[in-house]
Each structure stands twice: as structure tokens, then as C-alpha cells.
Amino acid sequence: LPQTGRVLVPNRFFNAITTFEIDYTAEPLEARNRHDLSLPIGMASGDYFRTVVAIGSKIYVADRNSDRIVVIDALSEEFIGTIPAIQGVTGIARTSDNLMIATSFDHRRLAFINLESESVLSVIGLTRRPYGIAVIEQPDAGIHRAYFSMFTEDRLGVMDVDPTSERFLDVIAYIQ
């Protein structure tokens, strides 16, 4: 969270996101403070939190255990609620048009979630197992792509995320 100087990391062993406040002026860099942002009981436990994404005043956490995305207020660190995602959600990333893409390596799927309505718009099946995901958009250069890693393969899937494209949300390549 650049506006706060905090770094958020999913904690794989209990219901928390570990928050580090970083002193960027220290040599070497150091954490001024570290604490765990606890989530409500009934959310993930064990090895289930996979990805943390900060968008504006909200933090989104992929919760593989509940098949949902946990939403937290970035400033108060209070639990806001959850958004339905996809069974076994592991990776999440946001496009510039307020679309969240979620991956599930267990079920070989990608889900497309409207963040405004907090609803799943569609789910596509893949022959491969997507894990992590990143969106890179540079509109001036005509680049609107999502890149997703494969759980057991040394390759990336590439998806067109330009809403004006005829290939919008199509997997356009697998690269090594």
C-alpha cells in the first residue's frame, strides 16, 4: 500500500495477513512495525491465503478455503465482507475496467468478477492449471494483457483484457 508505507503478505498458517510498515529511509531497509491483521473465524485456516491485492481503500485476499475473496478496509484494517469467487481460488488481479480475474489451479479455471456488483460474470475452463496472475495495461501502447503462471509447468498463459477487443477474455497464447 504505497500511500501508507505498508506491505501486506498472506500468512499461510493461520487466519491473518501479516502487515509490515517499512522505513524506506533506513539503510538497510527495515520494518518499523509488524502485526497480523486477523480475519474472522470461519475464513481460511491452514495453507489457504494466496494473494493480496490493494485497490484504492480496499484490500482483497484470495481465500482458497472458502472459495471467496475477503475484503478488508485498507485504512482501518476492518473486515468488510467477502465476494464469491471460484472453487479453490489462488490468484487474483484487477483490470483497469474494474474486473477481477481469479485463478484456480485445482479446477483449471479462471473466473471473471465484477467488483462493482461483486458478482461472478463468467468462468472459463482451461486444459492447464493456472496459479498466479498479473495484469499489465499500457493503453497508450495498446497493451491490455493478463499473464497467468501454471502450477506445474514452466510457462505463462496470456489473455487479452482489452474490453474493446474482439478477443476480450480469450487466452491468446501460452509462452515459455
Average pLDDT, the chain: 82
Model pLDDT for residues 59-72, shown as the tens digit of each residue: 888 888 778 888 88
Mean pLDDT for the stretch of residues 150-174: 90
**Cβ atoms 130, 91 nearer than 8 A:** yes
Model pLDDT for residues 23-81, shown as the tens digit of each residue: 767 777 666 666 666 665 455 454 566 778 888 888 888 888 778 888 888 888 888 88
**Cβ atoms 101, 135 nearer than 8 A:** yes
**Cβ atoms 147, 131 nearer than 8 A:** no
Residue type, 44: A
The per-residue b/e assignment along 128-137, b for 16 or more CB within 10 angstroms, e otherwise, is bbbbbbebeb
